[in-house]
Structure 1
Amino acid sequence: MDFEAPRRLVRALAEGDSTQEDALWLTRLPELLARTVEQTGLVVERVVAPGGRGSLVVLVHLPDGTPAALKLAPPSAATGHERTALETWDGSGAVRLLGDAGPTGLLLERLHPEVSVRSLPEAKAVLEASGTLRRLWAPPPPGHGLPSVADRTAAAAERLRAADPGDTVAPLIDAALAVREELLAAGEPEAFLLHGCFHQGKVLAGDRAPWLAVGPSPLVGERAYDLARLARDRAEDLVATTAGPSTARRRVGRLADSLDLDRDRVLGWTLFRTVTAAVAAMRADRAREAEPLLEFASWL
């Protein structure tokens, strides 16, 4: 099947910690898609572009005509973890898993990929997104094998320690590392199934429900961690205003209160995850992405 992989996916695999297997997977992606379609009897409608950073998503029809989405992920992706989370949620607040499509492929309920919560005015978007996130916080299934918050953040902390960011960013890195140690010092206070990569762009319009989450990178731990990525949504808009610092802290506080979470823990994980994302963007020479994140982090 002739097609060109979305540029966002190509760029993300080149910039990230992808493996040689991932690079080979990318070159063979047209062949893989064609083989998957043939084996499953799917009818391809179109490739979703720009699509995601970690997978190829194709709008398809099942053999019985039901519209669906085929997600093909590289070998390094934890597709098994995503499958575990989607099976646990069973469509409650999240896209419904329809079946497997090869070792790293998933067949998913068809949503509307062009319409995310981010298209709403900010106040409404935050309300809808936080309501969706609340529905995802469930007890993890027995024998889940998912990483903990401590596990997930350990590698990120090592990357921060290895960074050479310059004098202006170093204090933020020190603060991020210190707050992680403080948050984990007494062990994790609770063990919920978390989305792991939740933000407004991960909440899409659906037919079965108005808004459903997609693209989890699931883990188990405290809910404050899961709220941290949502808290910095539209950071670039805040940077453009004179009320940025006060608005940022007020937003974090309101989100924490709306979901009955400890403000300080939400603030701490927001700082850690924002600095982590900024340093990753700097490593990839994406200064325009890193700068508002660093500004946002400095306000927390």
Structure 2
Amino acid sequence: MITVPAAFRGMPRWWHDVAGREWLDRLPSLVAEQCRRWDLQVDGGPLHGSNALVVPVRRGAEAAVLRLAPPGDDVSREAEALRWWDGRGTVRLLEADVPARAMILERLSARSLQSVPLAEAVPVIADLAARMAVPAPPGATSTARIAAAHLEEFPRDWERLGRPVPRRQLEIALGIAAELAALPPGGDAVDGDLHCEQVLAGEREPWLVVDPVLLRGDLEHDLARVLWSRLDEVADDPELRRLVDLFARRTGVHGERARAWIVLRSLSYLLWGLDQGLTRDPPKCRRLLDVFA
């Protein structure tokens, strides 16, 4: 029987989630049941991110991990994404039980790209984004559609939340959203949640993505998240611009498009964060908007 880590139990996402707390209590028996079903042997103490419990296991001679997700998480979408990329820049999916929200995955190190200096991590992120840019399934949500949704959401939420950024920045973001929404959607696969904590060291490849979100369109879509999640490490605005230029050169995307998506994603997360009562991340989004909008 495994013990659920106290740090996982204490995460804010469970504070108001009764079903989630019940799931935490049932996790030891759920792990035992999946191990019986898949003939797995627990091979170490459990780990976790923000969304799931991961238990090192062995199936015969094969080292892997058992991943269990809480109620409400769409494991089918993640399994579909991992099958689509099939190990190209991502962790390999070995088995999935969607009703049980369980997967067996290739075992990676617990060391994430967060442990690498940001100036070295950005090229890794860029190379992974480019490597994952294979033709996407036709049904994948496009980044152009995401941009189009902002045209309605931004003015409504900006007004509702007390006009938290200057009108000029709102208008710049709306102009960018209209421009990106009108462009023909690209056909390449994009990870909509690609940042340093979602990249782990591996053996098959030096770095591999976990928990990808399959979109299609602009691979620079989520560069802002890479930046805001580690913005405290960026000393000044020129260094910030250099990191964006480095990403653009490495991926071959146009620098102006990369900066445009930084503006959209930063305003989107700022408005969402304020609505959720966040205090640490909104100032980081404001800094990105001040530099790029």
TM range (shorter): 0.7 to 0.9
Give the corresponding residue for 1:236: 232
User: Is residue 264 of structure 1 aligned with residue 261 of structure 2?
Assistant: no
What amino acid sits opposite 1:276 in the alignment? Answer: S
Instruction: Return the alpha-carbon distance in structure 1 between the equivalents of residues 45 and 151 of structure 2.
Output: 39
| 1:146 maps to which of 128, 135, 140 | 140
Q: Is the 8 A contact 2:88 2:132 kept in 1?
A: yes
Give the corresponding residue for 2:74: 78
Task: Single out whichever of 164-173 and 76-85 deviates more from structure 2.
Answer: 164-173
| 2:207 maps to which of 208, 211, 215 | 211
| 1:42 maps to which of 35, 40, 43 | 40
- Correspondence list, 1:45-60, <5 A: 45-48=44-47, 51-60=48-57
Closer, same or farther in 2 for the Cα pair 1:247/1:165, shift >3 Å?
farther
Give the corresponding residue for 1:91: 87
Closer, same or farther in 2 for the Cα pair 1:66/1:152, shift >3 Å?
farther
Give the corresponding residue for 2:121: 125
Shift of 1:261: 0.7
Instruction: Return the alpha-carbon distance in structure 2 between the equivalents of residues 15 and 284 of structure 1.
Output: 14
Shift of 1:267: 0.9
What amino acid sits opposite 1:35 in the alignment? Answer: E
Task: Single out whichever of 100-109 and 162-171 deviates more from structure 2.
Answer: 162-171
Shift of 1:82: 1.9
Could you tell me the percent identity over the aligned residues? 30
Instruction: Return the alpha-carbon distance in structure 2 between the equivalents of residues 75 and 111 of structure 1.
Output: 25
Instruction: Return the alpha-carbon distance in structure 1 between the equivalents of residues 248 and 70 of structure 2.
Output: 35
| 2:267 maps to which of 271, 275, 278 | 275
Instruction: Return the alpha-carbon distance in structure 1 between the equivalents of residues 10 and 97 of structure 2.
Output: 22
- Correspondence list, 1:22-41, <5 A: 25-26=23-24, 28-41=26-39
Give the corresponding residue for 2:4: 4
What amino acid sits opposite 1:39 in the alignment? Answer: R
Instruction: Return the alpha-carbon distance in structure 1 between the equivalents of residues 136 and 93 of structure 2.
Output: 17
Q: 2:280 is paired with a residue of what secondary structure?
A: helix
Give the corresponding residue for 1:105: 102
Shift of 1:174: 5.0
Instruction: Return the alpha-carbon distance in structure 2 between the equivalents of residues 40 and 33 of structure 1.
Output: 11
After TM superposition, the score normalised by the length of structure 1 is 0.82
What amino acid sits opposite 1:34 in the alignment? Answer: A
What amino acid sits opposite 1:281 in the alignment? Answer: G
User: Is residue 162 of structure 1 aligned with residue 128 of structure 2?
Assistant: no
Q: 1:36 is paired with a residue of what secondary structure?
A: helix
Shift of 1:230: 3.0
What amino acid sits opposite 2:46 in the alignment? Answer: V
Quote the RMSD (CA, aligned, Å). Answer: 2.9
Instruction: Return the alpha-carbon distance in structure 2 between the equivalents of residues 12 and 130 of structure 1.
Output: 31
Equivalent residues, number: 287
Instruction: Return the alpha-carbon distance in structure 1 between the equivalents of residues 9 and 193 of structure 2.
Output: 17
Instruction: Return the alpha-carbon distance in structure 2 between the equivalents of residues 213 and 6 of structure 1.
Output: 25
Instruction: Return the alpha-carbon distance in structure 1 between the equivalents of residues 257 and 117 of structure 2.
Output: 27
What amino acid sits opposite 1:179 in the alignment? Answer: I
